[in-house]
Structure 1
Protein backbone atom coordinates (compact mmCIF):
# COMPACT_ATOMS: atom_id res chain seq x y z
CA UNK A 1 0.00 0.00 0.00
CA UNK A 2 2.72 2.47 1.04
CA UNK A 3 4.76 1.41 -1.95
CA UNK A 4 1.87 2.21 -4.31
CA UNK A 5 1.34 5.61 -2.65
CA UNK A 6 5.05 6.35 -2.98
CA UNK A 7 5.05 5.39 -6.66
CA UNK A 8 2.00 7.57 -7.31
CA UNK A 9 3.53 10.53 -5.47
CA UNK A 10 6.80 10.30 -7.36
CA UNK A 11 4.86 9.83 -10.60
CA UNK A 12 2.93 13.06 -10.01
CA UNK A 13 6.16 14.90 -9.21
CA UNK A 14 7.88 13.55 -12.33
CA UNK A 15 4.85 14.45 -14.48
CA UNK A 16 4.70 18.05 -13.25
CA UNK A 17 8.47 18.59 -13.55
CA UNK A 18 8.59 16.96 -16.98
CA UNK A 19 5.75 19.04 -18.39
CA UNK A 20 7.08 22.32 -16.94
CA UNK A 21 10.62 21.69 -18.20
CA UNK A 22 9.36 20.79 -21.68
CA UNK A 23 7.25 23.97 -21.68
CA UNK A 24 10.24 26.13 -20.74
CA UNK A 25 11.82 25.42 -24.14
CA UNK A 26 9.71 28.01 -25.97
CA UNK A 27 10.67 30.68 -23.44
CA UNK A 28 14.37 29.86 -23.79
CA UNK A 29 14.10 30.07 -27.59
CA UNK A 30 12.46 33.49 -27.38
CA UNK A 31 15.15 34.68 -24.95
CA UNK A 32 17.89 33.45 -27.30
CA UNK A 33 16.33 35.29 -30.25
CA UNK A 34 16.96 38.58 -28.44
CA UNK A 35 20.68 37.97 -29.09
CA UNK A 36 20.16 37.96 -32.87
CA UNK A 37 20.79 34.23 -33.36
CA UNK A 38 19.02 32.48 -36.24
CA UNK A 39 16.69 29.53 -35.78
CA UNK A 40 18.97 26.97 -37.48
CA UNK A 41 22.02 27.79 -35.36
CA UNK A 42 19.98 27.72 -32.17
CA UNK A 43 18.45 24.37 -33.10
CA UNK A 44 21.94 23.05 -33.87
CA UNK A 45 23.16 24.06 -30.41
CA UNK A 46 20.18 22.41 -28.72
CA UNK A 47 20.61 19.09 -30.50
CA UNK A 48 24.41 18.89 -30.52
CA UNK A 49 24.66 19.64 -26.80
CA UNK A 50 22.24 16.77 -26.08
CA UNK A 51 23.79 14.36 -28.60
CA UNK A 52 26.56 12.86 -26.36
CA UNK A 53 24.00 11.79 -23.76
CA UNK A 54 21.79 10.06 -26.33
CA UNK A 55 24.81 8.29 -27.87
CA UNK A 56 25.79 6.96 -24.43
CA UNK A 57 22.21 5.79 -23.82
CA UNK A 58 22.07 4.16 -27.27
CA UNK A 59 25.18 2.10 -26.51
CA UNK A 60 24.19 1.39 -22.92
CA UNK A 61 20.59 0.31 -23.57
CA UNK A 62 20.24 -2.30 -26.29
CA UNK A 63 16.94 -2.88 -28.17
CA UNK A 64 14.31 -4.68 -26.11
CA UNK A 65 13.56 -7.36 -28.74
CA UNK A 66 16.44 -7.36 -31.26
CA UNK A 67 15.31 -10.67 -32.74
CA UNK A 68 12.15 -9.02 -34.08
CA UNK A 69 13.92 -6.05 -35.70
CA UNK A 70 14.38 -6.16 -39.46
CA UNK A 71 16.35 -3.93 -41.84
CA UNK A 72 13.20 -2.07 -42.87
CA UNK A 73 12.54 -1.25 -39.21
CA UNK A 74 15.80 0.72 -39.07
CA UNK A 75 14.81 2.52 -42.25
CA UNK A 76 11.47 3.45 -40.71
CA UNK A 77 13.31 4.58 -37.57
CA UNK A 78 15.41 6.95 -39.68
CA UNK A 79 12.27 8.29 -41.36
CA UNK A 80 10.34 8.87 -38.14
CA UNK A 81 13.40 10.38 -36.44
CA UNK A 82 13.64 12.75 -39.40
CA UNK A 83 10.04 13.94 -39.26
CA UNK A 84 9.46 13.64 -35.52
CA UNK A 85 12.45 15.48 -34.11
CA UNK A 86 14.14 17.20 -37.06
CA UNK A 87 11.19 18.60 -39.03
CA UNK A 88 8.97 19.14 -35.98
CA UNK A 89 11.74 21.00 -34.14
CA UNK A 90 12.71 23.00 -37.22
CA UNK A 91 9.14 24.19 -37.84
CA UNK A 92 8.77 24.99 -34.13
CA UNK A 93 11.91 27.13 -33.94
CA UNK A 94 10.96 28.91 -37.17
CA UNK A 95 7.45 29.62 -35.92
CA UNK A 96 8.69 31.03 -32.62
CA UNK A 97 10.31 33.85 -34.57
CA UNK A 98 6.79 35.20 -35.23
CA UNK A 99 4.62 34.02 -32.32
CA UNK A 100 4.46 34.55 -28.59
CA UNK A 101 5.66 31.58 -26.56
CA UNK A 102 2.23 31.12 -24.97
CA UNK A 103 0.40 31.02 -28.31
CA UNK A 104 2.99 28.59 -29.70
CA UNK A 105 2.34 26.15 -26.88
CA UNK A 106 -1.43 26.28 -27.40
CA UNK A 107 -1.09 25.34 -31.09
CA UNK A 108 1.42 22.58 -30.33
CA UNK A 109 -0.92 21.23 -27.68
CA UNK A 110 -3.48 20.14 -30.31
CA UNK A 111 -1.24 17.30 -31.55
CA UNK A 112 -3.31 14.55 -29.80
CA UNK A 113 -6.29 15.51 -31.98
CA UNK A 114 -4.03 15.19 -35.03
CA UNK A 115 -2.98 11.73 -33.86
CA UNK A 116 -6.64 10.68 -33.89
CA UNK A 117 -7.22 12.19 -37.34
CA UNK A 118 -4.05 10.69 -38.86
CA UNK A 119 -4.91 7.27 -37.41
CA UNK A 120 -8.30 7.56 -39.09
CA UNK A 121 -6.81 8.63 -42.45
CA UNK A 122 -3.95 6.13 -42.69
CA UNK A 123 -5.06 3.21 -40.51
CA UNK A 124 -8.84 3.51 -40.85
CA UNK A 125 -9.28 3.67 -37.08
CA UNK A 126 -12.83 4.73 -36.31
CA UNK A 127 -13.34 8.13 -34.70
CA UNK A 128 -16.00 7.94 -31.99
CA UNK A 129 -18.62 10.61 -31.41
CA UNK A 130 -16.84 11.61 -28.21
CA UNK A 131 -13.55 12.01 -30.07
CA UNK A 132 -15.26 14.04 -32.79
CA UNK A 133 -16.73 16.32 -30.14
CA UNK A 134 -13.35 16.66 -28.44
CA UNK A 135 -11.66 17.59 -31.72
CA UNK A 136 -14.36 20.17 -32.46
CA UNK A 137 -13.99 21.68 -28.97
CA UNK A 138 -10.21 21.85 -29.37
CA UNK A 139 -10.23 23.74 -32.65
CA UNK A 140 -12.98 26.09 -31.50
CA UNK A 141 -10.73 26.84 -28.52
CA UNK A 142 -7.81 27.62 -30.84
CA UNK A 143 -10.04 29.97 -32.85
CA UNK A 144 -11.15 31.75 -29.67
CA UNK A 145 -7.54 32.06 -28.50
CA UNK A 146 -6.44 33.72 -31.72
CA UNK A 147 -9.58 35.81 -32.28
CA UNK A 148 -8.02 39.07 -31.07
CA UNK A 149 -4.82 38.38 -33.02
CA UNK A 150 -6.72 37.56 -36.24
CA UNK A 151 -8.41 40.97 -36.08
CA UNK A 152 -4.96 42.58 -36.39
CA UNK A 153 -4.48 40.93 -39.82
CA UNK A 154 -0.79 40.37 -39.08
CA UNK A 155 0.87 38.30 -41.82
CA UNK A 156 3.70 37.23 -39.52
CA UNK A 157 1.10 35.80 -37.11
CA UNK A 158 -0.39 33.70 -39.92
CA UNK A 159 3.05 32.45 -40.98
CA UNK A 160 4.11 31.65 -37.42
CA UNK A 161 0.84 29.84 -36.68
CA UNK A 162 1.16 27.80 -39.87
CA UNK A 163 4.74 26.78 -39.01
CA UNK A 164 3.77 25.72 -35.48
CA UNK A 165 0.81 23.81 -36.93
CA UNK A 166 3.27 21.95 -39.21
CA UNK A 167 5.40 21.19 -36.16
CA UNK A 168 2.41 19.66 -34.35
CA UNK A 169 1.41 17.75 -37.49
CA UNK A 170 4.85 16.22 -38.09
CA UNK A 171 5.18 15.26 -34.43
CA UNK A 172 1.74 13.64 -34.53
CA UNK A 173 2.85 11.74 -37.64
CA UNK A 174 5.88 10.53 -35.72
CA UNK A 175 3.70 9.28 -32.86
CA UNK A 176 1.23 7.53 -35.17
CA UNK A 177 3.86 5.89 -37.36
CA UNK A 178 6.39 4.91 -34.73
CA UNK A 179 3.93 3.19 -32.39
CA UNK A 180 4.59 -0.27 -33.82
CA UNK A 181 8.38 0.20 -33.67
CA UNK A 182 8.68 1.27 -30.04
CA UNK A 183 7.88 -2.18 -28.57
CA UNK A 184 10.70 -3.67 -30.65
CA UNK A 185 13.33 -1.13 -29.63
CA UNK A 186 12.05 0.03 -26.25
CA UNK A 187 10.90 3.57 -25.41
CA UNK A 188 14.27 4.88 -24.18
CA UNK A 189 16.24 3.18 -26.94
CA UNK A 190 13.91 4.31 -29.73
CA UNK A 191 13.92 7.90 -28.47
CA UNK A 192 17.73 7.91 -28.31
CA UNK A 193 18.07 6.51 -31.84
CA UNK A 194 15.51 8.99 -33.20
CA UNK A 195 17.29 11.92 -31.52
CA UNK A 196 20.61 10.84 -33.03
CA UNK A 197 19.02 10.67 -36.49
CA UNK A 198 17.48 14.13 -36.09
CA UNK A 199 20.77 15.62 -34.88
CA UNK A 200 22.61 14.25 -37.91
CA UNK A 201 19.89 15.75 -40.15
CA UNK A 202 20.25 19.14 -38.47
CA UNK A 203 24.05 19.07 -38.82
CA UNK A 204 23.74 18.24 -42.56
CA UNK A 205 21.17 21.02 -42.98
CA UNK A 206 23.44 23.52 -41.24
CA UNK A 207 26.53 22.52 -43.24
CA UNK A 208 24.59 22.67 -46.49
CA UNK A 209 23.25 26.16 -45.76
CA UNK A 210 26.08 27.79 -43.80
CA UNK A 211 29.19 25.61 -44.11
CA UNK A 212 31.46 24.85 -41.17
CA UNK A 213 31.57 28.45 -39.93
CA UNK A 214 29.66 29.28 -36.75
CA UNK A 215 29.34 32.92 -35.80
CA UNK A 216 30.64 34.11 -32.46
CA UNK A 217 27.64 34.60 -30.19
CA UNK A 218 27.41 35.93 -26.62
CA UNK A 219 27.89 33.34 -23.89
CA UNK A 220 24.16 33.62 -23.09
CA UNK A 221 23.27 31.99 -26.42
CA UNK A 222 25.43 28.94 -25.72
CA UNK A 223 24.09 28.77 -22.16
CA UNK A 224 20.51 28.83 -23.42
CA UNK A 225 21.35 26.19 -26.05
CA UNK A 226 22.80 23.96 -23.34
CA UNK A 227 19.83 24.59 -21.04
CA UNK A 228 17.41 23.64 -23.83
CA UNK A 229 19.41 20.47 -24.49
CA UNK A 230 19.57 19.32 -20.87
CA UNK A 231 16.66 20.95 -19.04
CA UNK A 232 14.06 21.03 -21.83
CA UNK A 233 15.00 17.96 -23.88
CA UNK A 234 17.04 15.28 -22.12
CA UNK A 235 15.79 15.39 -18.51
CA UNK A 236 12.05 15.87 -19.21
CA UNK A 237 12.03 13.06 -21.79
CA UNK A 238 12.99 10.60 -19.04
CA UNK A 239 10.81 12.25 -16.40
CA UNK A 240 7.77 11.86 -18.66
CA UNK A 241 8.61 8.21 -19.37
CA UNK A 242 8.97 7.55 -15.63
CA UNK A 243 5.69 9.37 -14.91
CA UNK A 244 3.77 7.35 -17.52
CA UNK A 245 5.27 4.17 -16.09
CA UNK A 246 4.00 5.04 -12.58
CA UNK A 247 0.69 6.75 -13.36
CA UNK A 248 -0.41 5.34 -16.71
CA UNK A 249 -0.84 7.25 -19.95
CA UNK A 250 -4.44 8.35 -19.29
CA UNK A 251 -3.59 9.92 -15.92
CA UNK A 252 -0.48 11.58 -17.34
CA UNK A 253 -2.64 13.17 -20.06
CA UNK A 254 -4.28 15.26 -17.33
CA UNK A 255 -0.91 16.62 -16.21
CA UNK A 256 -0.02 17.30 -19.83
CA UNK A 257 -2.66 20.02 -19.71
CA UNK A 258 -0.27 22.00 -17.51
CA UNK A 259 1.95 22.59 -20.57
CA UNK A 260 0.23 25.67 -22.06
CA UNK A 261 -0.45 27.10 -18.59
CA UNK A 262 3.17 26.78 -17.44
CA UNK A 263 4.45 28.28 -20.71
CA UNK A 264 2.16 31.29 -20.38
CA UNK A 265 3.22 31.81 -16.75
CA UNK A 266 6.93 31.53 -17.60
CA UNK A 267 6.50 33.83 -20.61
CA UNK A 268 4.80 36.40 -18.38
CA UNK A 269 7.72 36.50 -15.94
CA UNK A 270 10.67 36.08 -18.31
CA UNK A 271 9.40 37.63 -21.56
CA UNK A 272 6.82 40.08 -20.24
CA UNK A 273 4.22 38.52 -22.54
CA UNK A 274 0.63 39.45 -21.80
CA UNK A 275 -2.40 37.33 -22.61
CA UNK A 276 -5.98 38.57 -22.75
CA UNK A 277 -8.98 37.21 -20.85
CA UNK A 278 -10.39 35.87 -24.14
CA UNK A 279 -7.13 34.01 -24.81
CA UNK A 280 -7.20 32.49 -21.33
CA UNK A 281 -10.75 31.29 -22.00
CA UNK A 282 -9.72 29.86 -25.38
CA UNK A 283 -6.76 28.11 -23.77
CA UNK A 284 -9.04 26.45 -21.22
CA UNK A 285 -11.34 25.28 -24.04
CA UNK A 286 -8.36 23.80 -25.90
CA UNK A 287 -7.13 22.04 -22.76
CA UNK A 288 -10.57 20.53 -22.09
CA UNK A 289 -10.85 19.24 -25.66
CA UNK A 290 -7.34 17.76 -25.75
CA UNK A 291 -7.77 16.18 -22.31
CA UNK A 292 -11.03 14.60 -23.47
CA UNK A 293 -9.56 13.15 -26.67
CA UNK A 294 -6.38 12.02 -24.88
CA UNK A 295 -8.24 10.17 -22.14
CA UNK A 296 -10.50 8.52 -24.67
CA UNK A 297 -7.60 7.59 -26.95
CA UNK A 298 -5.55 6.02 -24.18
Structure 2
Protein backbone atom coordinates (compact mmCIF):
# COMPACT_ATOMS: atom_id res chain seq x y z
CA UNK A 1 0.00 0.00 0.00
CA UNK A 2 2.79 2.41 0.89
CA UNK A 3 4.60 1.72 -2.38
CA UNK A 4 1.44 2.62 -4.27
CA UNK A 5 1.12 5.82 -2.23
CA UNK A 6 4.66 6.94 -3.11
CA UNK A 7 4.20 6.04 -6.78
CA UNK A 8 0.96 8.04 -6.78
CA UNK A 9 2.79 11.06 -5.32
CA UNK A 10 5.29 11.06 -8.21
CA UNK A 11 2.47 10.49 -10.73
CA UNK A 12 0.55 13.47 -9.33
CA UNK A 13 3.72 15.57 -9.45
CA UNK A 14 3.81 14.97 -13.19
CA UNK A 15 0.10 15.78 -13.43
CA UNK A 16 0.77 19.12 -11.73
CA UNK A 17 3.30 20.08 -14.39
CA UNK A 18 0.74 19.15 -17.06
CA UNK A 19 -1.55 21.92 -15.83
CA UNK A 20 1.06 24.64 -16.42
CA UNK A 21 1.05 24.94 -20.22
CA UNK A 22 -2.63 25.92 -20.31
CA UNK A 23 -2.22 28.76 -17.82
CA UNK A 24 1.06 29.89 -19.38
CA UNK A 25 -0.83 30.28 -22.67
CA UNK A 26 -3.58 32.22 -20.88
CA UNK A 27 -0.99 34.50 -19.25
CA UNK A 28 0.69 35.15 -22.61
CA UNK A 29 -2.72 35.87 -24.16
CA UNK A 30 -3.29 38.41 -21.38
CA UNK A 31 -0.14 40.24 -22.50
CA UNK A 32 2.42 39.04 -19.95
CA UNK A 33 6.01 38.29 -20.99
CA UNK A 34 8.24 35.29 -20.27
CA UNK A 35 9.98 37.23 -17.49
CA UNK A 36 6.68 38.15 -15.87
CA UNK A 37 5.25 34.64 -16.18
CA UNK A 38 8.35 32.88 -14.84
CA UNK A 39 9.07 35.53 -12.23
CA UNK A 40 5.46 35.55 -11.01
CA UNK A 41 5.35 31.75 -10.91
CA UNK A 42 8.43 31.40 -8.71
CA UNK A 43 7.68 34.45 -6.57
CA UNK A 44 4.18 33.32 -5.58
CA UNK A 45 5.19 29.67 -5.35
CA UNK A 46 8.13 30.41 -3.05
CA UNK A 47 6.01 32.66 -0.80
CA UNK A 48 3.31 29.97 -0.52
CA UNK A 49 5.69 27.11 0.29
CA UNK A 50 7.57 29.12 2.95
CA UNK A 51 4.24 30.17 4.44
CA UNK A 52 3.42 26.48 4.85
CA UNK A 53 6.84 25.78 6.40
CA UNK A 54 6.22 28.40 9.11
CA UNK A 55 3.28 26.35 10.40
CA UNK A 56 5.18 23.06 10.62
CA UNK A 57 7.61 21.63 13.14
CA UNK A 58 10.90 19.71 12.86
CA UNK A 59 12.44 22.20 10.43
CA UNK A 60 15.98 22.04 11.81
CA UNK A 61 18.67 21.79 9.17
CA UNK A 62 22.40 22.47 8.97
CA UNK A 63 23.82 25.22 6.80
CA UNK A 64 25.58 22.65 4.63
CA UNK A 65 22.37 20.73 3.97
CA UNK A 66 20.46 23.95 3.28
CA UNK A 67 23.10 25.08 0.78
CA UNK A 68 23.02 21.73 -1.04
CA UNK A 69 19.21 21.84 -1.28
CA UNK A 70 19.34 25.40 -2.61
CA UNK A 71 21.73 24.25 -5.33
CA UNK A 72 19.38 21.38 -6.18
CA UNK A 73 16.75 23.97 -7.09
CA UNK A 74 18.86 25.09 -10.06
CA UNK A 75 17.78 22.31 -12.47
CA UNK A 76 14.12 22.93 -11.57
CA UNK A 77 14.44 26.52 -12.78
CA UNK A 78 16.58 25.65 -15.80
CA UNK A 79 14.04 23.10 -17.04
CA UNK A 80 11.41 25.78 -17.55
CA UNK A 81 13.86 28.28 -19.02
CA UNK A 82 15.32 25.75 -21.49
CA UNK A 83 11.83 24.61 -22.49
CA UNK A 84 10.64 28.17 -23.09
CA UNK A 85 13.82 28.84 -25.09
CA UNK A 86 13.14 25.82 -27.32
CA UNK A 87 9.67 27.23 -28.05
CA UNK A 88 11.30 30.20 -29.82
CA UNK A 89 12.37 28.02 -32.76
CA UNK A 90 10.18 24.90 -32.39
CA UNK A 91 6.42 24.62 -32.32
CA UNK A 92 4.86 23.51 -29.06
CA UNK A 93 4.31 19.93 -30.18
CA UNK A 94 7.95 19.35 -31.12
CA UNK A 95 9.25 21.11 -28.00
CA UNK A 96 7.22 18.92 -25.64
CA UNK A 97 8.35 15.77 -27.46
CA UNK A 98 11.98 16.71 -26.85
CA UNK A 99 11.19 17.49 -23.20
CA UNK A 100 9.53 14.08 -22.99
CA UNK A 101 12.87 12.37 -23.64
CA UNK A 102 13.38 12.35 -19.87
CA UNK A 103 11.64 8.95 -19.82
CA UNK A 104 14.73 7.26 -21.31
CA UNK A 105 17.35 9.64 -19.93
CA UNK A 106 16.18 8.66 -16.43
CA UNK A 107 16.75 4.99 -17.25
CA UNK A 108 20.23 5.89 -18.53
CA UNK A 109 20.96 7.71 -15.26
CA UNK A 110 19.78 4.66 -13.36
CA UNK A 111 22.12 2.46 -15.40
CA UNK A 112 25.14 4.75 -15.02
CA UNK A 113 24.85 5.64 -11.33
CA UNK A 114 23.21 2.52 -9.89
CA UNK A 115 24.48 -0.04 -12.43
CA UNK A 116 20.90 -1.18 -13.03
CA UNK A 117 20.63 -2.41 -16.60
CA UNK A 118 17.08 -1.82 -17.92
CA UNK A 119 14.94 -4.93 -18.29
CA UNK A 120 13.08 -5.81 -21.49
CA UNK A 121 9.82 -4.89 -19.79
CA UNK A 122 11.17 -1.46 -18.87
CA UNK A 123 12.47 -0.83 -22.37
CA UNK A 124 9.09 -1.84 -23.79
CA UNK A 125 7.37 0.65 -21.48
CA UNK A 126 9.73 3.41 -22.63
CA UNK A 127 9.06 2.64 -26.30
CA UNK A 128 5.30 2.73 -25.64
CA UNK A 129 5.65 6.07 -23.82
CA UNK A 130 7.69 7.63 -26.64
CA UNK A 131 5.27 6.45 -29.33
CA UNK A 132 2.42 7.76 -27.21
CA UNK A 133 4.15 11.14 -26.86
CA UNK A 134 4.50 11.54 -30.64
CA UNK A 135 0.83 10.71 -31.16
CA UNK A 136 -0.41 12.81 -28.22
CA UNK A 137 1.63 15.82 -29.38
CA UNK A 138 -0.19 15.59 -32.74
CA UNK A 139 3.01 15.66 -34.77
CA UNK A 140 1.87 12.97 -37.22
CA UNK A 141 -0.99 15.07 -38.62
CA UNK A 142 0.79 18.44 -38.75
CA UNK A 143 2.03 19.83 -42.05
CA UNK A 144 5.46 21.41 -42.48
CA UNK A 145 6.83 20.70 -39.01
CA UNK A 146 10.25 22.37 -38.99
CA UNK A 147 13.29 21.56 -36.87
CA UNK A 148 16.13 23.86 -35.88
CA UNK A 149 19.32 22.68 -34.26
CA UNK A 150 19.02 25.44 -31.64
CA UNK A 151 15.53 24.32 -30.69
CA UNK A 152 16.55 20.66 -30.56
CA UNK A 153 19.47 21.46 -28.25
CA UNK A 154 17.34 23.58 -25.92
CA UNK A 155 14.62 20.93 -25.90
CA UNK A 156 17.05 18.14 -25.04
CA UNK A 157 18.65 20.29 -22.36
CA UNK A 158 15.22 20.77 -20.77
CA UNK A 159 14.73 17.00 -20.68
CA UNK A 160 18.20 16.55 -19.15
CA UNK A 161 17.63 19.09 -16.37
CA UNK A 162 14.16 17.67 -15.71
CA UNK A 163 15.70 14.23 -15.29
CA UNK A 164 18.36 15.68 -13.00
CA UNK A 165 15.62 17.31 -10.89
CA UNK A 166 13.87 13.96 -10.47
CA UNK A 167 17.15 12.20 -9.78
CA UNK A 168 18.16 14.69 -7.07
CA UNK A 169 14.71 14.41 -5.50
CA UNK A 170 15.43 10.75 -4.77
CA UNK A 171 18.78 11.17 -3.03
CA UNK A 172 19.17 14.54 -1.28
CA UNK A 173 18.24 15.67 2.23
CA UNK A 174 17.06 12.33 3.59
CA UNK A 175 16.95 13.71 7.15
CA UNK A 176 14.96 16.81 6.19
CA UNK A 177 11.17 17.05 5.93
CA UNK A 178 9.82 17.07 2.35
CA UNK A 179 8.12 20.43 2.94
CA UNK A 180 11.34 22.16 4.00
CA UNK A 181 13.27 20.49 1.18
CA UNK A 182 10.67 21.68 -1.29
CA UNK A 183 10.91 25.24 0.09
CA UNK A 184 14.69 25.24 -0.32
CA UNK A 185 14.43 23.75 -3.83
CA UNK A 186 11.95 26.50 -4.75
CA UNK A 187 14.14 29.21 -3.25
CA UNK A 188 17.15 28.00 -5.21
CA UNK A 189 15.07 28.03 -8.40
CA UNK A 190 13.75 31.53 -7.63
CA UNK A 191 17.31 32.82 -7.18
CA UNK A 192 18.18 31.46 -10.64
CA UNK A 193 15.16 33.24 -12.13
CA UNK A 194 16.17 36.51 -10.45
CA UNK A 195 19.76 36.28 -11.70
CA UNK A 196 18.92 35.26 -15.28
CA UNK A 197 15.65 37.12 -15.98
CA UNK A 198 15.85 40.06 -13.53
CA UNK A 199 12.08 40.32 -12.90
CA UNK A 200 12.00 43.98 -11.86
CA UNK A 201 8.21 43.96 -12.32
CA UNK A 202 8.03 42.40 -8.84
CA UNK A 203 8.53 45.94 -7.52
CA UNK A 204 5.65 47.27 -9.66
CA UNK A 205 2.54 46.66 -7.56
CA UNK A 206 0.00 47.05 -10.38
CA UNK A 207 1.80 44.60 -12.68
CA UNK A 208 2.35 42.17 -9.81
CA UNK A 209 -1.36 42.22 -8.89
CA UNK A 210 -2.32 41.79 -12.54
CA UNK A 211 -0.05 38.76 -12.72
CA UNK A 212 -1.32 37.37 -9.40
CA UNK A 213 -4.20 35.18 -10.72
CA UNK A 214 -1.84 33.42 -13.12
CA UNK A 215 1.13 33.50 -10.78
CA UNK A 216 -0.77 31.84 -7.95
CA UNK A 217 -1.94 28.95 -10.12
CA UNK A 218 1.47 28.54 -11.78
CA UNK A 219 3.16 28.85 -8.39
CA UNK A 220 1.01 26.14 -6.79
CA UNK A 221 1.15 23.66 -9.68
CA UNK A 222 4.65 24.50 -10.90
CA UNK A 223 6.65 25.41 -7.79
CA UNK A 224 4.87 24.09 -4.69
CA UNK A 225 3.33 20.73 -5.59
CA UNK A 226 5.78 19.05 -8.04
CA UNK A 227 8.95 19.33 -5.89
CA UNK A 228 6.99 18.43 -2.76
CA UNK A 229 5.36 15.37 -4.34
CA UNK A 230 8.61 14.26 -5.98
CA UNK A 231 10.50 14.65 -2.70
CA UNK A 232 7.86 12.55 -0.94
CA UNK A 233 7.74 9.78 -3.52
CA UNK A 234 11.07 9.62 -5.34
CA UNK A 235 13.21 8.32 -2.44
CA UNK A 236 10.85 5.33 -2.24
CA UNK A 237 10.27 4.52 -5.91
CA UNK A 238 13.83 5.26 -7.08
CA UNK A 239 15.04 7.18 -10.16
CA UNK A 240 14.32 4.37 -12.64
CA UNK A 241 10.56 4.17 -12.15
CA UNK A 242 10.49 7.74 -10.87
CA UNK A 243 11.32 9.15 -14.31
CA UNK A 244 8.53 7.17 -15.97
CA UNK A 245 5.67 8.09 -13.64
CA UNK A 246 5.88 11.87 -14.41
CA UNK A 247 4.96 11.02 -18.02
CA UNK A 248 1.46 11.78 -16.73
CA UNK A 249 2.31 15.41 -17.57
CA UNK A 250 1.47 15.15 -21.27
CA UNK A 251 -2.02 13.53 -20.97
CA UNK A 252 -3.01 16.14 -18.38
CA UNK A 253 -1.72 18.95 -20.63
CA UNK A 254 -3.88 17.66 -23.48
CA UNK A 255 -6.99 17.29 -21.32
CA UNK A 256 -6.50 20.80 -19.90
CA UNK A 257 -6.13 22.30 -23.38
CA UNK A 258 -9.37 20.57 -24.36
CA UNK A 259 -11.37 21.59 -21.28
CA UNK A 260 -10.01 25.10 -20.64
CA UNK A 261 -8.69 26.32 -24.00
CA UNK A 262 -11.33 24.47 -26.07
CA UNK A 263 -8.63 23.15 -28.41
CA UNK A 264 -9.47 20.28 -30.73
CA UNK A 265 -8.06 16.86 -29.80
CA UNK A 266 -8.19 14.22 -32.55
CA UNK A 267 -8.48 10.48 -32.13
CA UNK A 268 -4.74 9.88 -32.68
CA UNK A 269 -3.98 12.14 -29.73
CA UNK A 270 -6.37 10.11 -27.56
CA UNK A 271 -4.57 6.95 -28.70
CA UNK A 272 -1.34 8.60 -27.61
CA UNK A 273 -2.81 9.46 -24.21
CA UNK A 274 -3.97 5.85 -23.76
CA UNK A 275 -0.52 4.54 -24.75
CA UNK A 276 1.20 6.85 -22.26
CA UNK A 277 -1.08 5.75 -19.43
CA UNK A 278 -0.62 2.10 -20.47
CA UNK A 279 3.16 2.57 -20.43
CA UNK A 280 3.04 4.09 -16.94
CA UNK A 281 0.79 1.33 -15.58
CA UNK A 282 2.81 -1.37 -17.28
CA UNK A 283 6.12 -0.10 -15.92
CA UNK A 284 4.61 0.20 -12.44
CA UNK A 285 3.48 -3.44 -12.54
CA UNK A 286 6.66 -4.86 -14.05
CA UNK A 287 9.00 -2.91 -11.83
CA UNK A 288 7.24 -3.62 -8.54
CA UNK A 289 10.06 -5.89 -7.43
CA UNK A 290 12.73 -3.51 -8.69
CA UNK A 291 11.40 -0.63 -6.57
CA UNK A 292 12.57 -2.33 -3.40
CA UNK A 293 16.02 -2.80 -4.90
CA UNK A 294 16.19 0.84 -6.04
CA UNK A 295 15.29 2.08 -2.57
CA UNK A 296 18.03 -0.06 -1.09
CA UNK A 297 20.57 1.35 -3.55
CA UNK A 298 19.41 4.94 -3.03
CA UNK A 299 19.83 4.58 0.73
CA UNK A 300 23.56 4.29 0.15
CA UNK A 301 23.75 7.69 -1.58
CA UNK A 302 23.31 10.76 0.61
CA UNK A 303 24.33 14.42 0.55
Query: How much does 1:172 deviate?
Result: 1.1
Residue 294 of structure 2 aligns with which residue?
Answer: none
For the residue of structure 1 that corresponds to 2:251, the secondary structure is: helix
Q: Which deviates the most, 104-113 or 194-203?
A: 104-113
Match of 1:78 in 2: 70
Partner of 1:199 in structure 2?
190
Give me the CA root mean square deviation: 4.4
- Which has the larger share of helix? 1
Q: 12, 15, 37: which is aligned to 2:32?
A: 37
Question: Structure 1 residues 294 and 204, CA, compared in 2 at 3 Å: closer, same or farther?
Answer: farther
Q: Distance in 1 between the 2:281 and 2:275 partners?
A: 10
- Please give the secondary structure, in 1, of the residue aligned with 2:32: coil
Instruction: Say if 2:19 is the partner of 1:24.
Output: yes
* Corresponding position: 1:277 with 2:267: yes
Q: CA deviation at 1:267?
A: 0.6
2:116 corresponds to 1:125: yes
Q: Distance in 1 between matches of 2:13 and 2:130?
A: 25
Q: Deviations over 1:177-218 (max 9, x none)?
A: 3422131323222111111111111112223x8798769759
CA distance in 2, matches of 1:19, 1:241: 12
Compute the TM-score of the two structures, normalised by the length of structure 1. 0.71
Between the aligned partners of 1:292 and 1:89, the Cα distance in structure 2 is 28
* Aligned pair partner of 1:265 in 246, 255, 258: 255
- Structure 2 Cα separation of the partners of residues 108 and 232 of structure 1: 16
Compared with structure 1, are the counterparts of its residues 231 and 86 closer, same or farther at alpha carbon in structure 2 (3 Å cutoff)?
closer
- CA positional deviation for 1:11: 10
Number of aligned positions between the proteins: 281
Question: After the TM superposition, which of the residue ranges 255-264 and 113-122 deviates more from structure 2?
Answer: 255-264
Which deviates more from structure 2 when the two are superposed, residues 193-202 or residues 116-125?
Answer: 116-125
SS, match of residue 271 in structure 2: helix
The answer as to whether partners of 2:46 and 2:224 remain within 8 angstroms in 1 is no
Alignment of 1:167-178 (within 5 A): 167-178=158-169
- Tell me the TM-score normalised to structure 2 length: 0.70
CA–CA separation in structure 1 for the residues paired with 2:163 and 2:72 = 10
